[in-house]
């Protein structure tokens, strides 16, 4: 076993302190005497080989856009383009509306609750997103883009993901129709399947993570509220009852889930519906849904002959008609139509309720041949929404500006920090990307900082546990789902993060570190927090570990952006630990190893628990005792005096307490298996912990030319 420890130590031996540069630290445990599976513990997850960051960055975006522009007006027999002959430059019709809708549906699945969804991954190609009723006929849009994907796969391998292509097609379509686009953040990485969307529903996974307990029409966050399985609002009105004012709440909650305020919401709906049309040529004409005919979803049954189910006979949503008289041209007519006409409820050709314009009393002109959905009419039913409808009806420039920024946010929100965005059309950092200041050109002497931390560790037997806990709390907000969170920025110093119950007492730990912070001009809080926690772990083990540290973090000036990273509530402890682990991008074994870090009883008491599992012990000594105590005792649920849920060891002589997340580990098979492994073998625990620690501490470091500066 000592040989294996030596191997681990030699692998983790270097404290990398040069300006933000950390070479790989590979640990190949297969060569170790204990023969456990090969594991590159110090490296972060690699992007699939189909993605090449340098290629993405240098891709000739204008050339790809030229290809897309050509496709937009090149009508194909398998899905003829709408509006043939409407524009001189598009005699065969135009796919602009379809491409905008595709990019919006790909991106609009994003939810800030857990960072899931969004176009990064292009899971719209797979189950479950591909089968959502919202996404009817988008298989045709992807088929139109497929030749471009294939061409660029040969021309610049790894440069153009399907997800980037979908968003770029939306952008290009908007521009081709005269609309405003801020720019393009390239770098989306395609998923190999749709599993990362299973929790979005409607699936068993969604029922576990976010059940719609109150029944159809009353789902709560993070689900779309009106109809389970439809991520968007039901266009026909809540539960298909065409009452516009009942749809307002659904629209507001749906768009808030994507991080949009009222003004952005109105600009997006009306800006989006400046383009294209709804499709519902005859009642119930979509044909089989994808579960019945996966290779030919929604074949379309309206009409007959060569145009059966296509072109003028298309059936997508079952509504019929455009919102404006110039659906291939960007303008604010949608908003003008809303305010200038009275609207009458009718059943359209597809059998669904929709709204038809009537001239207002005294008007001289006949209304145009346009329509509105009940969800569009809802914008007239809320004082805030109607304010923006009127503003955009009067002020085209205001619409241009608001739509341009909101669209960019819509399609980029799931990409995480600015440093993940690549490419030649990249606009400057936007507020929603929470930009951090760049690291100083000269980083502090981390060896000296480490020596100062070591002095503090000697000063108090609990300091090690406190520093470790602070670093873990700082880093564990990271979400692999949308690359948000993590310790970079040290937003844990600010509200709202510092006020979360789980972070109570950490301000005093920060105070302990304050003299060290003050001593070094270029030392960030974020680096200090991570280095203090890392040093405490290293010195907690006997013999001490050596865990690589990668410096170069910087500090945010406020806590904005952490609101949505707070604790999520789940149905039970098992779902909580499983889902949180997935969201963090960790394996169950990594998460279990991290649960075995040093634990501070006084911080646990500050968070409202009666005490800790190691009360009265040596909290800054790193052993595998946590796993033995957790797995060898019986635990009963109870509540602390402060009203916090906790678990008490039933027959133990000492008073020992575990948290719900400890109980989740004990009672969830994949997690319990790792806990048993670590209870039996301390070395394996230390190896797994060191590796998982490096991974989570560096998971948010996208600030480097290779993608992750610490990788
Ligand atoms: C089409 C609903 C928001 C862009 C449609 C269709 C429906 C719909 C039912 C017709 C689909 C078809 O039959 O082909 C909604 C609802 C929304 C919403 C309920 C939210 C309350 C948006 C947003 C955008 C957008 C935010 C983009 C920024 C489009 C476009 C089309 C469309 C471009 C035309 C597609 C085509 O021409 O093929 N929408 N939409 N929509 N939507 Fe929306």
Q: Residue 557: what pLDDT? A: 96
* CB-ligand 1 contact for 101 (6 Å cutoff): yes
**59 with 160: CB under 8 angstroms?**
yes
For range 224-240, the mean pLDDT: 70
Which stretch of 53-67, 222-236, 346-360, 692-706 has the lowest confidence by average pLDDT? 222-236
Selection from 228, 339, 326, 235 nearest residue 279 by Cα? 235
Q: Does the beta carbon of 181 sit less than 6 angstroms from any atom of ligand 1?
A: no
- Is 26 noted as a catalytic residue in this protein? no
- Using the mean position of ligand 1's atoms as its centre, give its distance from the Cα of residue 278 in Å: 7
pLDDT bin (cut points 50, 70, 90) of residue 38 is very low
Tell me the three state secondary structure of residue 359: strand
pLDDT of residue 227: 52
pLDDT above 70 covers a percentage of the chain that reads 89
Ligand 1 pocket residue status of 104, Cβ below 6 Å: yes
Ligand 1 atom nearest 137 alpha carbon: 14
Q: Please state the atom number of ligand 1 nearest to the C-alpha of residue 271.
A: 28
pLDDT tops 90 at residue 51: no
* Atom 5 in ligand 1: residue holding the nearest Cα: 278
**Residues 86-118 pLDDT 10s:** 999 999 999 999 999 999 999 999 989 899 999
How far apart, in whole angstroms, are the C-alpha atoms of residue 247 and residue 294? 32
Examine the pLDDT at 18 and tell me if it is beyond 50: no
Predicted local distance difference test score (pLDDT) of residue 321: 98
Rounded to whole angstroms, the Cα distance separating 480 from 115 reads 8
Cβ–ligand 1 distance for 409 under 6 Å, the answer no
Mean pLDDT over all residues of the chain?
89
DSSP secondary structure, 248-288, as one string:
HHHHHHHHHHTT--HHHHHHHHHHHTTS-EE-BSSTT---S
- Considering the chain, what percentage of its residues have pLDDT values greater than 90? 77
Is 327 near ligand 1, meaning CB less than 6 Å away? no
The number of the ligand 1 atom at minimal distance from the alpha carbon of 247 is 21
Q: Model ipTM?
A: 1.00
What's the confidence (pLDDT) of residue 455? 98
The reply to whether 60-420 and 573-698 are identical in fold is yes
CA of 21 to the centre of ligand 1 (A): 46
Whether the CB of 279 sits within 6 Å of ligand 1: yes
pLDDT digits (tens, 9 = 90+) for 467-509: 999 999 999 999 999 999 999 999 999 999 999 999 999 999 9
Q: How much is the pLDDT for 218?
A: 60
Residue 230 pLDDT level (bands cut at 50, 70, 90): low
Domain ranges of the chain: 60-420, 573-698
Q: What is the pLDDT of residue 561?
A: 87
Is the pLDDT confidence value at 221 over 80?
A: no
Nearest of 59, 149, 161, 180 to residue 119 by alpha carbon: 161
156 φ, ψ (degrees, to nearest 5): -140, 80
404 lines ligand 1 (CB under 6 A): no
Residue 175 has pLDDT above 60, yes or no: yes
**Ligand 1 pocket, residue 277 CB under 6 Å:** yes
Rounded CA gap, 699 and 25, in Å? Answer: 15
Q: What is the DSSP string of 376-394?
A: HHGGGSSHHHHHHHHHHHH
| pLDDT of the residue at 229 | 52
Instruction: Please state the atom number of ligand 1 nearest to the C-alpha of residue 315.
Output: 13
Band (pLDDT 50/70/90 cuts) for residue 33 is very low
CA–CA distance, 146 with 293 (Å, rounded to integer):
20
The closest of 699, 501, 484 to 45, measured between CA atoms, is 699
- 13-22, 59-68, 388-397, 430-439: lowest mean pLDDT where? 13-22
What value does the mean pLDDT take over residues 256-262? 93
Task: Name the residue with higher pLDDT: 7 or 243.
Answer: 243
Model pLDDT, residue 29:
28
- The yes-or-no verdict on residue 25 having pLDDT over 60 is no
pLDDT band at 154, cuts 50/70/90?
Answer: very high
Q: Is residue 19 predicted with pLDDT exceeding 90?
A: no
355 touches ligand 1 (CB under 6 Å): no
Question: Locate tokens 């609002």: which residue?
Answer: 233
What pLDDT shows up at residue 643?
Answer: 97
At residue 314, does pLDDT exceed 50?
Answer: yes
Longest dimension (CA), the chain: 93
Q: Please tell me the distance between residue 146's alpha carbon and the centre of ligand 1 in angstroms.
A: 22
Residue 234 Cα: closest atom of ligand 1: 19
For residue 197, the CA-to-ligand 1 centroid distance in Å is 21
Q: Does 612 contact ligand 1 (Cβ within 6 A)?
A: no
Helix (H) or strand (E) holding 322: strand 321-322
Whether 319 lines ligand 1, by a CB cut-off of 6 Å, is: yes
Rounded Cα gap, residues 149 and 71, in angstroms:
12
Above 70 in pLDDT, residue 298? yes
Instruction: Please give the average per-residue pLDDT across 142-147, as a whole number.
Output: 98
What pLDDT shows up at residue 17? 29
What pLDDT, on a 0 to 100 scale, did the predictor assign at position 286? 86
Residue 30 has pLDDT above 60, yes or no: no
> What average pLDDT does the segment 278-285 reach?
94
Ligand 1 atom at shortest distance from the alpha carbon of 376: 21
The architecture CATH gives domain 573-698: Orthogonal Bundle (1.10)
Residue nearest to atom 40 of ligand 1 (CA): 269
* Residue 13 pLDDT > 70: no
Compute the distance from residue 389 Cα to the ligand 1 centre, in Å: 17
Segment 570-582 mean pLDDT = 93
CA-CA distances (angstroms) from residue 447 to 173, 452, 464, 475, 532? 54, 9, 17, 22, 12
Q: So what's the architecture of 60-420 in CATH?
A: Orthogonal Bundle (1.10)
Select from 235, 246, 350 the residue to mutate for testing ligand 1; criterion: most ligand atoms less than 8 Å from CB.
235
Nearest CA to ligand 1 atom 16: 235
The alpha carbon of 279 and the centre of ligand 1 are apart by a number of angstroms equal to 10
pLDDT value of residue 294: 81
Residue 316 C-alpha to ligand 1 middle, in angstroms?
Answer: 11
How would you list the strands of the sheet with 635-639, edge to edge? Answer: 635-639, 645-649, 657-658
Question: Does 39 sit in the ligand 1 pocket, CB within 6 Å?
Answer: no
Q: Region 636-643: what's the mean pLDDT?
A: 97
| Residue 217 CB contacts under 8 Å (≥ 6 apart), including other chains | 226, 227, 238, 239
Pocket mutation for ligand 1, best pick of 86, 249, 278 (most atoms within 8 Å of C-beta): 278
Atom of ligand 1 at shortest distance to CA of 104?
27
Beta strands in 538-689 (DSSP E): 635-639, 645-649, 657-658
Residue 375 Cβ contacting ligand 1 at under 6 Å: yes
Q: Which of 39, 105, 352, 624 is catalytic?
A: 105
Ligand 1 geometric centre to CA of 210 (Å): 26
In short, whether 232's Cβ falls inside 6 Å of ligand 1 is: yes
| Protein residue with least CA distance to atom 2, ligand 1 | 235
Residue minimizing CA distance to atom 18 of ligand 1: 269
CA-to-CA distance for 43 and 701, rounded, in angstroms? 12
* pLDDT, average across residues 376-385: 98
pLDDT at residue 219 in the model: 63
CB-based contacts of 709, cutoff 8 Å, min separation 6? 20, 21, 22, 550, 552, 701, 702, 703
Query: 636 and 650 in contact (C-beta within 8 Å)?
Result: yes
Residue 220's pLDDT is: 62
Comparing 320 with 231, which gets the higher pLDDT? 320
3-state secondary structure of 616: coil
- Both tokens of 345, joined, read 């409820």
> How remote is the CA of residue 304 from the centroid of ligand 1, in Å?
26
Q: Does 97 contact ligand 1 (Cβ within 6 A)? A: yes
Q: Provide, for the chain, the percentages of residues in helix, strand and coil under a 3-state DSSP scheme, each rounded to the nearest 5.
A: 45, 5, 50
Q: Which residue has the tokens 């669209």?
A: 407
The residue nearest atom 11 of ligand 1, judged by CA position, is 278
């Amino acid at each position: 076993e000592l040989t294996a420890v030596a191997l681990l130590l030699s692998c983790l031996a270097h404290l990398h302190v040069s300006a933000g540069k950390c070479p790989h630290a590979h640990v190949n445990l297969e060569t170790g005497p204990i023969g456990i599976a090969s594991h590159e513990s110090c490296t972060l997850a690699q992007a699939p080989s189909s993605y090449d960051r340098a290629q993405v960055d240098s891709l000739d975006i204008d050339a790809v856009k030229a290809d897309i522009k050509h496709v937009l007006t090149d009508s194909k027999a398998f899905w003829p383009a709408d509006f043939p002959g409407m524009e001189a430059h598009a005699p065969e019709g135009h796919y602009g509306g379809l491409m905008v809708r595709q990019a919006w549906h790909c991106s609009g699945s994003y939810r800030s609750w857990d960072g899931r969804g969004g176009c990064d991954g292009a899971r719209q190609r797979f189950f479950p997103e591909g089968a959502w009723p919202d996404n009817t006929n988008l298989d045709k849009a992807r088929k139109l883009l497929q030749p471009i994907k294939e061409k660029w796969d040969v021309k610049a391998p790894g440069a153009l993901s399907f997800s980037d292509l979908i968003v770029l097609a939306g952008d290009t379509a908007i521009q081709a129709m005269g609309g405003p686009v801020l720019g393009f953040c390239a770098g989306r990485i395609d998923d190999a399947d749709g599993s990362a969307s299973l929790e979005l529903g409607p699936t068993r996974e969604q029922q576990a993570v976010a059940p719609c307990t109150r029944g159809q029409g009353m789902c709560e966050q993070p689900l779309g509220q009106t109809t389970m399985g439809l991520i968007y609002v039901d266009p026909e009105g809540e539960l298909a009852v065409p009452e516009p004012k009942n749809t307002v709440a659904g629209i507001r909650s749906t768009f808030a889930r994507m991080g949009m305020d009222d003004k952005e919401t109105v600009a997006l709906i009306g800006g989006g519906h400046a383009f294209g049309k709804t499709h519902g040529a005859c009642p119930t004409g979509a044909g089989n849904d994808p579960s019945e005919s996966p290779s030919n979803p929604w074949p379309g049954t309206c009409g007959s002959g060569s145009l059966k189910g296509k072109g003028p006979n298309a059936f997508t949503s079952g509504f019929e008609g455009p919102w404006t008289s110039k659906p291939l041209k960007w303008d604010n007519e949608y908003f003008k139509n809303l305010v200038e006409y009275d609207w009458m409820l009718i059943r359209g050709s597809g059998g669904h309720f929709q709204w038809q314009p009537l001239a207002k009393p005294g008007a001289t002109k006949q209304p145009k041949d346009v329509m509105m959905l009940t969800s569009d009419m809802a914008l007239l039913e809320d004082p805030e929404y109607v304010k923006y409808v009127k503003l955009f009806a009067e002020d085209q420039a205001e619409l241009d500006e608001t739509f341009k920024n909101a669209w960019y946010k819509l399609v980029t929100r799931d990409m995480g920090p600015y440093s993940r965005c690549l490419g030649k059309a990249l606009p400057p950092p936007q507020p929603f990307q929470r930009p951090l200041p760049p690291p100083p050109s000269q980083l502090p002497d981390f060896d000296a900082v480490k020596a100062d931390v070591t002095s503090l560790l000697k000063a108090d037997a609990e300091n090690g546990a406190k520093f470790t806990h602070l670093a873990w709390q700082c880093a564990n907000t990271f979400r692999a789902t949308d690359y948000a969170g993590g310790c970079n920025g040290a937003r844990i110093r600010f509200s709202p993060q510092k006020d979360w119950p789980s972070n109570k007492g950490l301000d005093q730990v920060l105070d302990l570190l304050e003299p060290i912070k003050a001593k070094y001009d270029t030392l960030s809080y974020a680096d200090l927090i991570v280095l203090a926690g890392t040093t405490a772990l290293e010195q907690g083990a006997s013999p001490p570990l050596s865990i690589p540290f990668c410096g170069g973090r910087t500090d945010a000036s406020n806590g904005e952006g952490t609101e949505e990273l707070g604790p999520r509530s789940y149905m039970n402890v098992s779902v909580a630990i499983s889902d949180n682990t997935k969201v963090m991008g960790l394996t169950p074994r990594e998460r279990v190893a991290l649960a075995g870090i040093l634990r501070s009883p006084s911080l646990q008491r500050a968070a409202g628990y009666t005490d800790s599992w190691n009360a009265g012990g040596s909290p800054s000594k790193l052993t595998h005792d946590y796993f033995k105590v957790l797995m060898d005792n019986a635990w009963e649920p109870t509540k602390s005096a402060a009203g916090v849920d906790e678990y008490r060891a039933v027959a133990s002589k000492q008073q020992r307490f575990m948290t719900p997340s400890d109980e989740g580990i004990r009672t969830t098979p994949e997690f319990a298996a790792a806990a048993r492994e670590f209870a039996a073998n301390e070395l394996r625990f230390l190896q797994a912990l060191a590796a998982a620690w490096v991974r989570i501490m560096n998971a948010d470091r996208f600030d480097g030319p290779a993608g992750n500066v610490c990788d």
